[in-house]
Structure 1
Amino acid sequence: MRGLRRWWDDTAGGLPATFWYLWSGLLINRAGAFAMLFLSLYLTAARGASASLAGLVVGAYGAGGAAGTLLGGVLADRWGRRSTLLAAHLAAAGLMVALAFSEHLAVIAVLAALVGVVHSMPSPAFVAAIVDVVPEARRSRAFNLQFWAFNLGMAVASLLAGVLAEASFLALFLVDAAATLAAAVVIALKVPETLTRRPVTLRAVAGRRPGLHTALTDRTFLTFVGLTFLLAVLTMQTSTIMPLAMRDDGLRPTAYGIVVALGGALIVAGQLFVPRLIEPYRKSAVLAVSTGLMALGFGALTVADGLPLYLGAAVVWTVGQMLAAPPNAQINADLAPPELRARYQSVFYLTFPAASFVAPALGGLSLQHLGERHWLVVGGLGLVAAAGHVLAGPPRERRVAALRAAAERAATVPAGR
């Protein structure tokens, strides 16, 4: 019992109540965000759209997501975290109801793009609010719990989506709207505004006027974003290129489902043990090892020709993903000046829609022309990212130290000056 209590303290202890309400809102949101998983099937089966037209509508949702990420970051720093979260959730619930009853494909396409915007807006605000309320020493475990909740919610969403889609597409959209509204209620009742107006500290570090352009011209931060983009390209292989490779190896779709389910099960079962495991080590070293494991796992697919080898490789790259999640999020938070916290988050989150485009677009060409050697290219990208984290670690640490020193000086400035 004492060992269990110690593990719980190391994993989730010492986190403020506001964090747990944010965490609950995120979990409810992700568990209920299943309608868009079946958007292409809904368009072709229920609305008579062609496969190409359905692809364009789904693409509109993705384009809206890229715009919403930046918009959410700007609004969270200007309006506040709580206001942005409430506006995004309430708008998403209303748009989902509109989608449920819309019949014209042009209207559905516009609504899908708008849903993409409001679905992406909360991400920067969620992370910025977590950084606002969680002490620095406990942020790693907070981000680890956030990653765990995200994956648990996605697993629940995948299961619910299949059941509801078979029963009724109308129910699929309406239940999604209800879950989104429930998350908004939790935020409205339990999450206070966490944004505090501070004296501008970034000029002391970089000599620039703060704004979104600051994040877009911050070389240290953009180097980290670029390395995260490479990690995201590796991660996207599982949902874009790997199914094609498994088909070429003569494996059935059920085999692909087993591989994906194994990764999700490992994250849900093991992610809570990660903070204590990585705590003694530098973040750059953890990211280098984790990205190296992902490179090894995907590179191993060069010789995979059966389900056992795919499962073994999935274990390796999933462990890499699990190790990377907490330090990746914490470094992102550390590099962001307090007054630009959400803007930096929005630029960081752009790596994922970008990777979701690059991975299938270039990966498909690579697989077609290189065959199994495609996985050597993917593994090579992972090794480049691992080396990049080793080289970029010291400059990142110096930048974080400069930001902390500037924030401490700003905290000593008397009110009104």
Structure 2
Amino acid sequence: MLGLRQNLAQFTLLVAVNALVGGTLGQERTVLPLLATDVFGLELYTSSLTYILAFGVAKAATNYLAGTLSDRYGRKPVLVAGWLIALPVPVLLIYGPSWDWIVAANVLLGISQGLTWSTTVVMKMDLVGPHRRGAAMGLNEAAGYLGVAATAMATGYLAAEYGLRPAPFLLGAAYIGLGLGLSVLTVRETRDHARLEAAGHAGARPEAHAGLSSAQVFTLTSFRDRSLSSVSQAGMVNNLNDGLAWGLFPVLFAAAGLSLGQIGILAAAYPAVWGAGQLATGALSDRWGRKGFIVAGMLTQALALALIAVGSGFGAWLVAMVLLGVGTAMAYPTLLAAIGDVAHPAWRARSVGIYRLWRDGGFAAGAVIAGLVADAFGIPTAVTVVAALTAASGALVAVRMRGRDHTPGLSLPAATRHLRSPRP
């Protein structure tokens, strides 16, 4: 049976699991950029951002695989595998004697996040069906990024009181143990819900979708379909500026003389507003449409980044970080919901994985672009460049994406006719 109310218990459990997924990522947001400079003595921004590059590449690739694996083997095994891969991460972060160990930890963290976060997204889409998808994605992403925010603030406090290692990462170890236990013992498989939705699907002819290969789904999601490709590029740019915020903002704030406590507040404010705001924006996009939220969100993020580049001091930066969270809250769950709107249930998990491949590839792109520009011209210039890219991305969505893509598979019959292999 499909629907949020009908599957409320499992849906709520998955929200809690994704909060733990977000917390596992949040253990790094405040502490790791400072660990790079204060403990390992890395001076070049391109060197210190290698952990974000490693995380982004690993997570992007795993996102792509997560959709295919969850279609083939089921959602729950993929979720459990993601938690198992995360088990060594806190140990490496605590005891790593060189920066290479930290980079290796972030490869594992990226793989884990790709499997766990992608799978919780797909499972919630399976449970709720087509009519409350924006609300479901808002709840999912809110839980994840409120977990990021709460942990970023908590680890800032722990680092100030007890040092950069090991105390902040013990919190992440607890999250991983709890998330693994819940996933093994209480989460139920949801693949049959997707099959039920596909059986009653009213979009394009079923035979236009059932035989699509992964390569064909990749082409549709990345390039051929106007809405899916618009969403994919916007997701990539969104995480490009998130990678900038993760890797360089704590360094910028520390260089301005802010305390660890203030840096923790700033590092938490952005994902906290982002997380809480999605509770409203996801549901509102079900009513008002996806495109307007995505365009406005990207432009708001660009404005916030510009204010960070020209601003100084805790108060000005706090306002800008809140605004950055508002813009991200408008775009983030809406992007995921738009993928779910257009992709057919028969290959939706793969399309979500491909979208998340592009989106989390933004972490890697952000690490490279921000690092190179910051080394050459300084952090404020790097922030300005990313602000311009974010504004351009919003403008591209405004021009290319179709409006009110609410009907699953609405735009795809013509596209899939070109992609289907001839039948004998």
Q: Same fold (TM over 0.5)?
A: yes
Question: What corresponds to 2:214 in structure 1?
Answer: 211
Q: Distance in 1 between matches of 2:333 and 2:240?
A: 18
1:194 pairs with 182, 190, 197, which one? 190
CA drift at 1:92 = 2.6
Question: What corresponds to 1:222 in structure 2?
Answer: 229
Pick the structure with more helix per residue. 1
For residues 24-39 of structure 1, the aligned pairs below 5 Å read 24-33=16-25
Residue 181 of structure 1 pairs with residue 188 of structure 2: no
- CA deviation profile, 1:288-308 (whole Å, cap 9, x unmatched): 122122222223445434444
Question: What corresponds to 1:82 in structure 2?
Answer: 76
Q: Which has the higher contact order (CA 8 A, sep 6+)?
A: 2
- CA deviation profile, 1:67-116 (whole Å, cap 9, x unmatched): 332332221111110111122223433x3486489778688876653443
Verify the 8 A CA contact 1:40 1:58 in the aligned structure 2: no
Question: What corresponds to 1:259 in structure 2?
Answer: 266
Residues 276 and 210 of structure 1: CA distance in aligned 2, closer, same or farther (over 3 Å): closer
For residues 34-73 of structure 1, the aligned pairs below 5 Å read 51=42, 60-73=54-67
Question: What corresponds to 2:402 in structure 1?
Answer: 394
CA drift at 1:149 = 0.8
1:311 pairs with 318, 329, 341, which one? 318
Residues 212 and 374 of structure 1: CA distance in aligned 2, closer, same or farther (over 3 Å): same
- CA deviation profile, 1:229-262 (whole Å, cap 9, x unmatched): 12222333323454566577x5535565443343
Q: Structure 2: which 5+ residue stretches go unaligned?
A: 415-424
Question: What corresponds to 1:233 in structure 2?
Answer: 240
2:391 pairs with 379, 383, 386, which one? 383
Q: Distance in 2 between matches of 1:263 and 1:287?
A: 18
- CA deviation profile, 1:288-332 (whole Å, cap 9, x unmatched): 122122222223445434444433333333221121123111012
- CA deviation profile, 1:19-78 (whole Å, cap 9, x unmatched): 111111112333355665656877999xx9674998767755554333332332221111
Residue 348 of structure 1 pairs with residue 335 of structure 2: no
Residues 189 and 373 of structure 1: CA distance in aligned 2, closer, same or farther (over 3 Å): closer
Q: Distance in 2 between matches of 1:100 and 1:318?
A: 27
RMSD of Structure 2 on Structure 1 (CA)? 4.2
Q: Distance in 2 between matches of 1:57 and 1:373?
A: 22
Q: What TM-score results when the alignment is normalised by the length of structure 2?
A: 0.74
Residues 206 and 223 of structure 1: CA distance in aligned 2, closer, same or farther (over 3 Å): farther
For residues 358-377 of structure 1, the aligned pairs below 5 Å read 358-366=365-373, 368-369=376-377, 377=385
Residues 192 and 107 of structure 1: CA distance in aligned 2, closer, same or farther (over 3 Å): same
Verify the 8 A CA contact 2:340 2:408 in the aligned structure 1: no
CA drift at 1:125 = 1.2
Verify the 8 A CA contact 1:216 1:347 in the aligned structure 2: no
Aligned partner letter, 1:86: V
Residues 22 and 54 of structure 1: CA distance in aligned 2, closer, same or farther (over 3 Å): same
Question: What corresponds to 1:113 in structure 2?
Answer: 107
CA drift at 1:176 = 3.4
Q: Distance in 1 between matches of 2:7 and 2:412?
A: 21
Residues 371 and 264 of structure 1: CA distance in aligned 2, closer, same or farther (over 3 Å): closer
| 289-298 or 65-74, which deviates more | 65-74
Q: Distance in 2 between matches of 1:317 and 1:246?
A: 16
Residues 233 and 90 of structure 1: CA distance in aligned 2, closer, same or farther (over 3 Å): closer
CA drift at 1:361 = 2.5
Residues 251 and 142 of structure 1: CA distance in aligned 2, closer, same or farther (over 3 Å): same
Verify the 8 A CA contact 2:336 2:352 in the aligned structure 1: no
Number of aligned residues: 391
Q: Distance in 2 between matches of 1:58 and 1:314?
A: 20
Q: Distance in 2 between matches of 1:245 and 1:34?
A: 19
| 201-210 or 232-241, which deviates more | 201-210
| 100-109 or 389-398, which deviates more | 100-109
Q: Structure 1: which 5+ residue stretches go unaligned?
A: 1-11, 407-417
- CA deviation profile, 1:185-241 (whole Å, cap 9, x unmatched): 323333221113567988844796322552245422233211221222233332345
Q: What TM-score results when the alignment is normalised by the length of structure 1?
A: 0.75
Question: What corresponds to 1:124 in structure 2?
Answer: 118
